[in-house]
Structure 1
Amino acid sequence: MKGWEQIAACRGIDASIFFPDDEDDNADLAKEICAGCSVSRPCLEYAISVREKEGVWGGATQRERRSIIRRRRRAAARQRSLLETEAPNGR
């Protein structure tokens, strides 16, 4: 168990709340629990880092996590592009 899991608001709650059959339509209760959790950020980061395919983690569904990953990749690409543009001689 990761350290943050020990104090997560979801600890002891039925896991099916966080893994609904149709998570896009039935994730509201899980998201509400996550919204009041002090460790929702590390939970979300964990799910992103291991490419968790199912469930609500840190208040985000799989679809929302994929969107976060895409935004982060685009931001990183823009940052790299800026750094390459600013570097002398393109290096």
Structure 2
Amino acid sequence: MIDWKERAACRGMDPSVFFPPTGDRKALARARAICEGCQSQADCLVTGLDQTDGIFAGTTPRQRKSLALVGY
């Protein structure tokens, strides 16, 4: 079975792309654009639900916190 990270659109990229500086809308948009349409989004989101920093499956920490609160 292939690990979801091997199928991810971000594979091989510098991880710092997904940890943009606070308030940097261009960097945030760039990270989200990479995630858009990625076939590993669901697995990435599950991985990111307990992360307090970074972009996972195109979501911000605030968005993931909201998802966790509703029981995603």
Same fold per superposition (TM over 0.5): yes
Overall identity of the aligned pairs, in %: 36
Where does structure 1 lack aligned partners over 5 or more consecutive residues? 74-91
> 2:63, 2:36 → 1: CA distance?
15
Give the CA deviation at 1:71: 2.1
* Structure 2: unaligned runs, 5 residues or longer: none
Structure 1 residues 23, 70: closer, same or farther in 2, change over 3 A? farther
Alpha-carbon distance in structure 2 between the residues aligned to 1:30 and 1:61: 10
Alpha-carbon distance change, 23 to 65 in structure 1, aligned in 2, over 3 angstroms: farther
1:24·1:61 contact (CA, 8 Å) conserved in 2?
no
- RMSD across aligned C-alpha pairs, in angstroms? 2.1
TM-score with structure 2 setting the length: 0.82
Moved over 3 A (4+): 23-26
Q: Which has the higher contact order (CA 8 A, sep 6+)?
A: 2
CA shift for structure 1 position 22: 1.1
Structure 2 SS opposite 1:37: coil
1:57 is aligned to 56
- Between the aligned partners of 2:4 and 2:23, the Cα distance in structure 1 is 23
Taking the TM superposition and a 5 Å limit, the aligned residue runs for 1:60-79 are: 60-72=59-71
Aligned residue pairs total 70
Q: Give the AA of the match of 2:20.
A: P
Structure 1 or 2, whichever has the larger Rg, is 1
Instruction: Kindly provide the amino acid, as one letter, of the partner of residue 60 in structure 1.
Output: T
